Structure 1
Amino acid sequence: MSSRRKDRENPVAVRTAPRRGVIVVLAAVLMIVMMGFIALSVDVGYMFTMQSQLQRSVDAAALAGAGSLIEGEDVATAQVHEYLTHNPVGLQWKEFTDGDTAGNVDLFLTKYGDGLNLSIGDWNATTAQVEAVDDSPSTVSVRMTYQNMPFFFGHLLGRDSFDITAESIATYQSRDIMLVLDLSGSMNDDSEFNAISKLGFEHVYTNGQQMYADLGYPVYGDLTFDPQYAKAQGATPVSEGQAKTSVTYRGPSVVASSDKGISKVSVRTSSGSTYNYYPGGATSYTANPNQEVRYVWITSGKNADNSDQVHSFDFDGNRVSTIRNALGLNNVAYPYPQGSWNDYINYCLGTGQNNNAGYRYRFGYFNWINYLLERRYSYNATPDLWKVSAQPVTAVKNSVDLFIHFMQEGDGRDRVGLAVYNAPDGNGLLESTLTDNLGFIMAQSRQRQAGHYHNYTNIGGGMTVAREELQARARVGAVKMMVLLTDGQANWVNGGVNSGAAKQYVLDEAYLCAENHIKILTISLGAGADKALMDEVAQITNGVHFNVPGGQTVAEYTEDLTNIFRQVAGHRPLKLVK
């Protein structure tokens, strides 16, 4: 059969050939459209990518500027320019890879400065606007526009470029900060005689001289600054042959003196034994029985009837009275509400710090000050001790002053309160509510002394009153912070000594602070501080733990504390408000 005949018998085959050609044409057209959509999607994606890059760039610039406002508007402006230069959009980074920062900033501003709108002022949350202020601004607004950003394929659709704009407003938040200070008795430790082994005699001695000066160089009886042995005077001669004698009391030895020759010295010791010495007519003789002397008899001079004159000195039942009279303190009133000259004399005669420093049986302002720091440290006992430069409490006061001064250089929106531990009942005490009167906080801190109210260490008690103050009076939009300092171990809770419970109290308070979004910055001061506990408290609250190591000189730990408080004061919490 011929092919023509087959075609007539199969009409469908005749009509399918033209359809294959139509599909090819349609596919070609659709491919062109699809390529257009791909080109469009590439350019649209590029636009969104550039917009995101620009937003990140202005966010970084606004935050950097706001964070620098405390150093002045010029510094903040320079930070904005630098961050925009270092965070360019698209391919601009190629323009700023060479040269120094200042040159690159100048180049950036020359090319793109017209698109930058920078304003500095205060954020008004009600109007959602940045308002100009005369001084102490807190907010930076950055609006940046890049014009004529090139499309990849846009020219195919009649559009060669596009513009992008992004705006960011950053402000730093006001802070409500509670300082929680350790006023336990151990905050005097670096000024007491026991610190000689750690810090050296020269440190303690010089510090003692400064404290004596801080008290106004008081004069009591015949005391001198350097402790001396007491010299008891014998009876005044009533006839020409009688002698004028004295005994310098040194505890296990005495120095007998006379203006005439001494024929015999007898001493009775604490054991009841009597020892006789024969100076052979010398006018001074040291009797050293190596037992604490209780009575002394000196044979020297002649009575009116030509009998030997015997002079007696009582260092037993009347020992304190004899020494007090020898020091010229019999008619001198003790200057403070608690303590007495008799108590001070007994302190010098006993063992302890005074003995460790080599001043047992000696009396002077140096060990009188140590007596105050060790035995009569509270405000009720010795109200003037807040004036003296005892350590480390004075280093803390000085650092608090610097902390407050640094914060005063800000915009005045921060508030500070003061809590201490312990109160007279052993709990925490709110010394000052949150206030913008930062000078008052300095005065309150300065007028407190180690062991001011209580000797023990109730860290949790101080944290409790600080937390309650922040919960009750912190402002809604303010960052709530606590700065907690201690030089020792938590050992007091619920009215008594219980180290384990006191430590758990601290941790319980830390968790309560974390629940209430209160960040705690902890400072452990010296070798005796519980560094592990302070570190745990900081971790629980997402805070930071600073440690000032033990065994340092005053200058060293003062510098460390100063740097810590400067960091705390200088940290400005930032947030983007737009």
Structure 2
Amino acid sequence: MARSLWNRLHRSERGQALPLFALFLLIFLGFVAMSIDVGRYVWARTQMQAAVDAAALAAAQSMPSETDAAAKATEYWLDNSGFIRSQGENVQFAVTYPEGNKAVRVQASARIPTWFARLFGVTHWNVSASGDAESQVLDIVVVFDISGSMCFDSFRQVESSVAYQMSPGRLTPAGGFAFPRLAENINATQTTIRLNDVRIFASTNASTNRANFGTTFNSTTPYWQRSASGLRAGMIMIDNEIMRITNVNVANNTLTVQRGQRNDATGVMTAATSHAMYAEVWANRTGYSNTNDYCELASYRTPTTTVNGPHEPFDSAIDAAKYFTTLFDSQYDKIGAVRYSTTAAISQNLTANFANVRGSLDAILWPAGATNIAHGLAVGRQVLDGTGKRANAVRVLVLLTDGVANTYCGSATYNPNAYNSTSCTTGNGVSQAEHHARQEAQRARNGDILIFTIGLGNDLNTAFLQDIATIGGGHFYHAPTTAQLDEAFQAVAEQTHIALVR
């Protein structure tokens, strides 16, 4: 009797367990199905927002051209919305232009069909996203290095002292002497060579010598006999061959020379080769009146606003800075320019007339002097704080240099008052110059100025330039040659143009 009752109870429990198991299995499968469809929704929503943001940022770079902006936004949307477009239904994408600082709004929406959730009456997910970006209103100052080293690529050093640069000189230099060129072809063994005019090498007039060759040659001793510390007498260069003058015959316009001389700057002997008629005859030049403006003496013509140099990398750097101004929109942006060497000066206050900015850069006649980066930063800050400053603008300072900070304003102790003027009493020394520059960078940053630095060439303290950019909240870009300068300036423009605002 008892056993029969037990069997009936056991069969009853087994009958109840099977429906419960089926119910729990159905619920479990429902959760799994929903999790798959929810995952598809989350992925669709994430991809859509990312695609919209990318499209908005890309479009803002093309403003204020709405046509270009729409094309760029569409390009980035198509590149980043593959899942949405392949899985979605009724996919919508739109670009609009709300009022503001070159603003762009990108919006997208789609229906994402469900797989399993439809068993519970959910046939699709509605997914949407929007992103706003704007190309910011900018006040920019370009702080441009015009120190003497900015012509080193044009005019070579062949003596042991860096104070002397070998260069061509003037077509019509002071003293009335003709620009020296070969008057005939010469072979590799000739020691008597004929020029169109040799008087420049034989002059015994101190002022003429100084005007032609620079401060060190301020003497009645003619160039071909004049030597100084780190300088050999009478060195000339034709093409790549260095020669030494041993005699000058003014009546016959001939030089007697020793061929294939050593380049004391590199320690390499040059080879005696043949040279063609009209080849330039270069000579050593040094700073004039203690301002290191041998670049001015070295150029073919007296520099004007339309004829500079050749002065490299100066000329190419000016061209790159002028290109930089074309990357902005005068409807919204303003640009100024500062030049600096031993001290800094304003070339152009903030203006929306970019042609005036380019003209102010062209008006810098030649590079000369030392490298006072601290004062360059200070005068750049003065431009951004001065005429034309706007409360709604992002303020940007772009500093270009090809060398090392070696000059500063005032005493060894940093004094901000020394930098409140476009003139200053200078001191020398790399460590103090860099210290003063860091202080001026911090002062600019405290005034909400972003600093970007561009280092040209390889004679740089890149860690120092990185420090200045870091202090200023910007970036450092290295351009090993002038060929990379446009890219560096363009990178700065791209960094400062765009903000994702929603």
Name the counterpart of 1:226.
Answer: 180
Deviations 1:376-419 (A, max 9, x none): 6669x999645431413323222222222x225x4642322222
> Residue 492 of structure 1: CA displacement?
1.6
From 78, 90, 107, give the equivalent of 1:143. Answer: 107
Name the counterpart of 1:466.
Answer: 380
> Residue 61 of structure 1: CA displacement?
2.1
> Residue 536 of structure 1: CA displacement?
4.0
Asked if 1 retains the 8 angstrom alpha-carbon contact of 2:73 and 2:95, the reply is no
Distance in 1 between the 2:246 and 2:463 partners? 38
Q: Does 1:164 align with 2:127?
A: yes
Name the counterpart of 2:235.
Answer: 356
Name the counterpart of 1:561.
Answer: 485
Secondary structure in 2 matching 1:223? coil
Secondary structure in 2 matching 1:407? coil
Name the counterpart of 1:275.
Answer: none
Change (3 A) 1:189 1:375: farther
Return 5+ residue gaps in structure 2 as ranges.
Answer: 183-197, 237-243, 254-279, 411-425
> Residue 542 of structure 1: CA displacement?
4.4
What does 1:167-206 correspond to in 2, within 5 Å? 167-192=130-155, 194=157, 204-205=167-168
Distance in 2 between the 1:350 and 1:402 partners? 44
From 53, 64, 82, give the equivalent of 1:59. Answer: 53
> Residue 221 of structure 1: CA displacement?
6.2
Distance in 2 between the 1:386 and 1:521 partners? 30
Secondary structure in 1 matching 2:355? helix
Secondary structure in 1 matching 2:70? helix
Q: Does 1:442 align with 2:358?
A: yes
Return 5+ residue gaps in structure 1 as ranges.
Answer: 8-12, 95-110, 126-137, 229-247, 255-314, 328-333, 550-556
> Residue 436 of structure 1: CA displacement?
1.9
Deviations 1:499-521 (A, max 9, x none): 22112223334455566664433
Structure 1 or 2: larger helix share? 1
Name the counterpart of 2:239.
Answer: none
Asked if 1 retains the 8 angstrom alpha-carbon contact of 2:349 and 2:383, the reply is yes
Distance in 2 between the 1:461 and 1:55 partners? 46
Q: Does 1:414 align with 2:338?
A: no
> Residue 470 of structure 1: CA displacement?
4.0
Distance in 2 between the 1:492 and 1:335 partners? 26
Secondary structure in 2 matching 1:440? helix
Name the counterpart of 2:311.
Answer: 391
Matched AA of 1:185: G
Distance in 1 between the 2:470 and 2:147 partners? 25
From 483, 494, 497, give the equivalent of 1:573. Answer: 497
The aligned length equals 416
From 74, 86, 94, give the equivalent of 1:118. Answer: 94
Matched AA of 2:80: N
Deviations 1:453-506 (A, max 9, x none): xx2221122122324544677655544433222233222222322222112223
Distance in 1 between the 2:430 and 2:2 partners? 113
Asked if 1 retains the 8 angstrom alpha-carbon contact of 2:479 and 2:485, the reply is no
What does 1:34-113 correspond to in 2, within 5 Å? 35-36=29-30, 39-40=33-34, 42-69=36-63, 73-88=66-81, 90=83
Q: Does 1:488 align with 2:390?
A: no
Distance in 1 between the 2:469 and 2:327 partners? 22
Higher Cα Rg, which structure: 1
Matched AA of 1:428: A
Secondary structure in 2 matching 1:413? coil
Distance in 1 between the 2:205 and 2:2 partners? 149
Name the counterpart of 1:238.
Answer: none
Secondary structure in 2 matching 1:457? coil
What does 1:228-243 correspond to in 2, within 5 Å? none
Matched AA of 1:437: N
Change (3 A) 1:359 1:417: farther
Matched AA of 2:235: N
From 477, 480, 485, give the equivalent of 1:548. Answer: 480
Computed over aligned residues only, the root mean square deviation of the Cα atoms, in angstroms, reads 5.1
Change (3 A) 1:372 1:378: closer
> Residue 50 of structure 1: CA displacement?
2.0
